[in-house]
Chains A and B, each alone.
Chain A
Amino acid sequence: QLQLQESGPGLVRPSETLSLTCTVSGGAISSSSYYWGWIRQPPGKGLEWIGSIYYSGSTYYNPSLKSRVTISVDMSKNQFSLKLSYIAAADTALYHCARQPVVRNFLNWHFDLWGRGTLVTVSS
């Protein structure tokens, strides 16, 4: 049973860079059948897609966050990571990693497996 587990600091100072990692267990991140994505949920608000990555390094980013986001993949560790720069209070959120299917070589725009999320608070 494939599982996703987010990890990273629970507290980040404003203007710094947030770094989170998602560890994939029970399956290979190098599978050609999936992209791997990040989604966040600020307290009391809805979900927001951050971006997604393929094992080859191909990425899609939310246009509103693109200038501050970098998503990378480490196949040797079966992990993918999120870096979000110039953090502010509005970036306080529960950050989820998730799996996104590829069907007949086309990215299917939904997430079929999620992690529970890790809470990140931005505060000095």
Chain B
Amino acid sequence: QSALTQPPSASGSPGQSVTISCTGTSSDVGGYNYVSWYQHHPGKAPKVMIYEVSKRPSGVPDRFSGSKSGNTASLTVSGLQAEDEADYYCSSYADSNNLVFGGGTKLTVL
């Protein structure tokens, strides 16, 4: 059982927006601004899409955005494209120099 809770699946049609949630506690998501989101196409290396809640690494399309409210962080993918279909994982720094992940959300582009 993962420390952070994500919905197992999400979906949207091309061009639409979809938001994936990541719920933790005040000891992780709610207490620190070290929430990250990773995109993982099976068989490939995971790729960071968002770090420090809302920062985008260079090369990541601005269709990807992150936010946080209380103990819940969110990843929004706007203008869905076929290549966005992948597994998405959130992570957060947690008390006492720990790092916790979510169980992952499978995003399907319909």
Q: Which residue of A lies closest to B51 (CB)?
A: A110
In the assembled complex, the Cα of A65 lies from the Cα of B11 at a distance in Å of 35
Measured between beta carbons, the chain B residues less than 8 angstroms from A49 are 91, 98-101
| Nearest A residue to B46, CB-CB | A114
Q: Are B45 and A46 in contact (CB under 8 A)?
A: no
Does B46 lie within 8 Å of A110, measured CB to CB? no
Enumerate B70-110 residues with CB–CB distance to A below 8 Å.
89, 91-93, 96-104
In angstroms, Cα B45 to Cα A33, docked, is 21
Contact present for A63 and B96 (CB under 8 Å)? yes
A-side contacts of B99, CB under 8 Å: 49, 62, 109
Q: Which residue of A lies closest to B95 (CB)?
A: A63
Which residues on the B side are within 8 Å of A46 (C-beta)?
Answer: 2, 6, 89, 101-104
- Asked, given contacts A49-B99, A63-B98, whether A114 binds B91 with beta carbons under 8 Å apart, the answer is no
Q: Are A114 and B45 in contact (CB under 8 A)?
A: yes
Nearest CB to that of A64 among chain B residues?
B98
**What class of interface size applies to chain B in its complex with A?**
20 to 34
Given A63-B98, A109-B99, A112-B57, are A47 and B89 also a contact pair (CB < 8 Å)? Answer: yes
Contact A47 B91 (CB under 8 A): yes
- Whole-angstrom CA separation of A60 from B102 in the bound complex: 20
How near does chain B come to A36, taking the closest CB pair, in angstroms?
14
A77 at the interface (CB under 8 A from B): no
Given A46-B102, A110-B36, check contact A60 B52 (CB 8 Å). Answer: no
> Which chain B residues border A60 with CB–CB below 8 Å?
97
Bound complex: CA A116 to CA B43 (Å):
7
Contact among A45, A110, A116 for B48, CB-based, below 8 A: A110
Chain B residues within CB distance 8 Å of chain A = 2, 6, 32, 34, 36, 38, 43-48, 51-52, 57, 89, 91-93, 96-104
8 A-B Cβ contacts within 8 A?
Answer: A49-B99, A49-B101, A98-B46, A109-B91, A110-B52, A112-B48, A113-B45, A114-B47
Given A49-B100, A108-B34; 7 other pairs, CB 8 A cutoff? A4-B45, A45-B103, A46-B104, A109-B93, A110-B36, A111-B36, A113-B45
